[in-house]
Amino acid sequence: MEKIDGASLMARSLKQQGVDYMFGIVGFPVVGTAFAAQKAGITFIGMRNEQSASYAAQAASYLTGRPQACLTVSGPGVIHAFAGLANAQQNCWPMILIGGASPVYQNGMGGFQEERQVQLAAPYCKYAHAIEHTERIPYYVEQAVRYAKFGRPGPVYLDFPDDIIRGQVDEEKVVQAATVGESPRTQADPEAVEAALSALESAERPLVIVGKGMAWSQAENEVREFIERTQLPFLASPLGKGVLPDDDPLSVGAARSTALKEADLIVLMGARLNWIMHFGLPPRFRPDVRVVQIDIAPEEIGANVPAEVALAGDGKAIVGQLNRALDNRQWFYPAETAWREQLRGKAQANLEAVQPMIDDESSPMNYYRAYRDIESWLPDDTIIIGEGANTMDIGRTRMVNRAPRHRLDAGTYGTMGIGLGFAVAAAVTNPDQPVVAVQGDSAFGFSGMEIETMVRYKLPVKIVVLNNGGIGGGVGPIEEGKTVPPPILTYGARYEGMMEALGGKGLYVEDPRDLRGALDEAMAFDGPALVNVLIHPRAGRKPQQFEWLTT
Ligand code: ADP
Ligand code: MG
C-alpha cells in the first residue's frame, strides 16, 4: 500500500490550498518539511532570523492575496516568530505559522525545545491548533487557511510535532480536505447603502478615508469609480496609499491634518479609528463628526466613534453597491465649495513650508532633500517599503504611490524590524517589479543580516539607509569619554560595507549632489544594493501642528 509521511503531506496540503511560498529557518524537527515543500513546488526561502521570516510570510500573504507560510524549529524558533504573528494580527493580515514541536510522546518530560506553543500562540492568532494525527494534516491545513483568509484576515498557527512529521500513513487513510476558495464577498444591508448616500448628500465637508482593508479586498476599481462619480475629496491611510493614486487631483493627503480636523462627515473605508487616525476624536476631529463606516468586521463598527451608518461586509462588494445606488441619484459633490478651497489652500501652504528643505543643498543633507532624489528615481511600479521614525513619516508624504498594494511599512503595530523581511517577500512574489526599501539606520539594524538572504536568492532589492546615527534624532560623533546616550548609534556607520562584504553592491553618499548618481548605480546593478546616505543628525520633520501620538 502507498505510504506518505507527515512532511510530504503537509507540503502537498499547503500547495493544494494555494500556499506557494514558505519562509523559514530549518533545524529540528522541520528540515524534512522544507525539502518536501520544495518538492511539492513551494518556493522555500531560508531566512536568517525567524522574526524576519514571519514578517516575510505575512507580506507575501498581503501581496498575493492568499495566506503564505512561515516554518520554524521548535521552542525558541516558534517564539521568535510570534513577533510576526502579533504584527499580522494588528495589521489584519493573514499568514500561517507552522511551528516544529517536540514529539508528542515526550510531552511534559522536558524534551528538547519543548514549549507550550499552541497555548502561547493562541492570543496572537485567529486559530491555533496542534496536529495530533499525521493522516489529519490536510484537515488542519484547510481549516487554518480558511480562518486566515475569510472575514477579517489574520494569522493562524499549526503545531507540527516531530513524530507527526515523521509519521507514515497509508494514502487511503489520509483525510481529504476541500480547497479553500475565494473569500465570500458579503454585502451590506441595501437600506444602509441608501442611508450612506443620503448622509453624504447632507454633508458640507465630506471626506473619504481609504484604508488597507480596501487594498486587501482589491477594491481599487470600485473605489476609483466611486470617487470619480462623487468627486469626493479623499485621503489614504499609510498602507491604503495607492488604492487610488496619491497624486490624484481629488486626493487631499497633502492637507491631511486639516481634512481630518474639519470634515463634518467621513466615509471610513477599511480603516480603523485607532492611533493612526487619532481615534476619530477631538482635537484631531470635530466632536460632532459623522461616520459612515465600511468594515468586514461588524464588531469594528462604532469603535471609538459611533457610526451613523454601518456598512458591514466586504469592501469591494459594498463600494460596488454604493456605485449601483448612485445610478438612481446622479449626485456628486460640487466642484467649487469652501471646503475644497480650504483644503487646496492648506495643501499649497504645506508644500511651501517644506520647499526650502527640499532645495537645501547643505551637507550632510536633510530628509526632504534626500527624498527629492529618491522620489524622482523611483520607477512607477516600485513596491516601496518604508521603515524608521522620520525616514518613514517623511517618506509617506514624499514617495508617491500610484498602484494598490505597492507600499509596506511598520503598519498598525509600528513595528521596527519588518523592513528587510517585507523586502524579501516583495521581491520573491513580484520578481518583475522593482523593490525599494528606505530605512533609517536603526530600522536597518533590526534585520540587517537579511541582506545575505537577498544575495543568496539573487533578489535585486535596493535598500536606501537614511543614516542619522540614532533612533529618532542623532547627535553626530560621540565625544571621547562621554557616556553613550541611549538613542545613539554610530554616526556614519558604513552599512554599505556589509552589503559589499556579502556579495552585493554598496554605495556611500555624503554630498547631496552625489545622491542621484549613487541611486542610479544601485538600480543598474544586477542584484541587491545598499545606498548608505549620511543625514544631518538633527534633521527632522517640518514643524507639526500636533505633536506625535497626540490624540
Ligand atoms: P489602516 O491602517 O489602513 O487604517 P486598518 O488596519 O486600521 O487600516 O483597518 C483595516 C480594516 O479593514 C480592518 O478593520 C479590517 O477589519 C478591514 N477589512 C479587512 N478586510 C476587509 C474587506 N475585505 N472589506 C472591508 N474591510 C476589510
Ligand atoms: Mg536613525
- CA 212 / ligand 1 centre spacing (Å): 5
Cα Rg of the chain, angstroms = 24
With H, G, I as helix, E, B as strand and everything else as coil, classify residue 472. coil
Mean pLDDT of 76-83: 98
- CA 151 / ligand 1 centre spacing (Å): 10
Q: Which ligand 1 atom minimizes the distance to the CA of 272? A: 7
pLDDT of residue 10: 99
Q: Which residues line ligand 1 (CB under 6 A)?
A: 91-92, 152, 211-213, 216-217, 237, 239-240, 270-272, 274, 276, 294-297, 300, 314-315, 412
Whole-angstrom Cα distance, residue 531 to residue 551? 36
With H, G, I as helix, E, B as strand and everything else as coil, classify residue 463. strand
Single-letter amino acid, residue 380: D
pLDDT of residue 473: 79
- CA 408 / ligand 1 centre spacing (Å): 15
- CA 473 / ligand 2 centre spacing (Å): 6
Which ligand is the nearest neighbour of the Cα of 241? Answer: 1
- CA 216 / ligand 1 centre spacing (Å): 8
Q: Which residues contact 440 (CB under 8 A, 6 or more apart)?
A: 387, 388, 389, 390, 391, 392, 465, 466, 467, 468, 471
Q: What is the pLDDT of residues 485-507, one digit of tens each?
A: 999 999 999 999 999 999 999 99
**pLDDT for residue 325 is more than 60:** yes
Q: What is the pLDDT of residues 328-369, one digit of tens each?
A: 998 999 999 999 999 999 999 999 999 999 999 999 999 999
Strands 43-46, 127-130: parallel, antiparallel or unpaired by DSSP?
Answer: unpaired
Give the other-Cβ count within 10 Å of 356's Cβ.
11
Strands (E), 426-535: 435-440, 462-467, 505-509, 529-534
Which ligand is the nearest neighbour of the Cα of 534? Answer: 2
Mean pLDDT of 276-293: 98
Q: What is the dihedral of CA 215, 217, 222, 223, to 10 degrees?
A: -30
Q: Are 379 and 401 in contact (CB under 8 A)?
A: no
Asked if residue 283 has a cis previous peptide bond (ω within 30° of 0), the answer is: yes
Predicted confidence band at 474 (pLDDT cuts at 50, 70, 90)?
A: confident
Q: Residue 283 gets which letter from DSSP? A: T
Nearest CA to ligand 1 atom 19: 213
Mean pLDDT of 167-175: 98
Mean pLDDT of 168-193: 98
Q: pLDDT above 90 covers what percent of the chain?
A: 95
Whole-angstrom Cα distance, residue 489 to residue 508? 17
Strands (E), 227-289: 234-236, 265-269
Q: Residue 2 gets which letter from DSSP? A: -
pLDDT of residue 548: 60
- CA 533 / ligand 2 centre spacing (Å): 11
Q: What is the pLDDT of residues 150-166, one digit of tens each?
A: 999 999 999 999 999 99
Which ligand is the nearest neighbour of the Cα of 413? Answer: 1
Nearest CA to ligand 1 atom 27: 213
Predicted confidence band at 396 (pLDDT cuts at 50, 70, 90)?
A: very high
With the most atoms of ligand 1 within 8 angstroms of its CB, the residue from 295, 314, 318, 412 to mutate is: 295
Nearest CA to ligand 1 atom 21: 213
**pLDDT for residue 549 is more than 80:** no
pLDDT of residue 444: 98
Predicted confidence band at 479 (pLDDT cuts at 50, 70, 90)?
A: confident
Alpha helices in 365-433 (DSSP H): 367-377, 390-398, 419-429
Q: What is the pLDDT of residues 105-126, one digit of tens each?
A: 999 999 999 999 999 999 999 9
Q: How many CA atoms lie within 13 A of 194 on its CB side?
A: 4
Which ligand is the nearest neighbour of the Cα of 296? Answer: 1
φ/ψ of residue 402, rounded to 5: -120, -5
- CA 537 / ligand 2 centre spacing (Å): 8
- CA 362 / ligand 1 centre spacing (Å): 42
Q: What is the pLDDT of residues 520-538, one digit of tens each?
A: 999 999 999 999 999 999 8
Nearest CA to ligand 1 atom 7: 272
- CA 255 / ligand 1 centre spacing (Å): 23
pLDDT of residue 181: 97
pLDDT of residue 475: 78
With the most atoms of ligand 1 within 8 angstroms of its CB, the residue from 212, 223, 266 to mutate is: 212
- CA 314 / ligand 1 centre spacing (Å): 10
With the most atoms of ligand 1 within 8 angstroms of its CB, the residue from 58, 152, 214, 299 to mutate is: 152
pLDDT of residue 1: 82
With the most atoms of ligand 1 within 8 angstroms of its CB, the residue from 182, 207, 217, 396 to mutate is: 217
- CA 229 / ligand 2 centre spacing (Å): 43
Nearest CA to ligand 1 atom 20: 213
Mean pLDDT of 538-543: 79
pLDDT of residue 547: 67
Which ligand is the nearest neighbour of the Cα of 470? Answer: 2
Which ligand is the nearest neighbour of the Cα of 396? Answer: 1
Q: What is the DSSP string of 67-104?
A: --EEEE-STHHHHHHHHHHHHHHHHT--EEEEEEE--G
Whole-angstrom Cα distance, residue 234 to residue 142? 38
Mean pLDDT of 313-331: 97
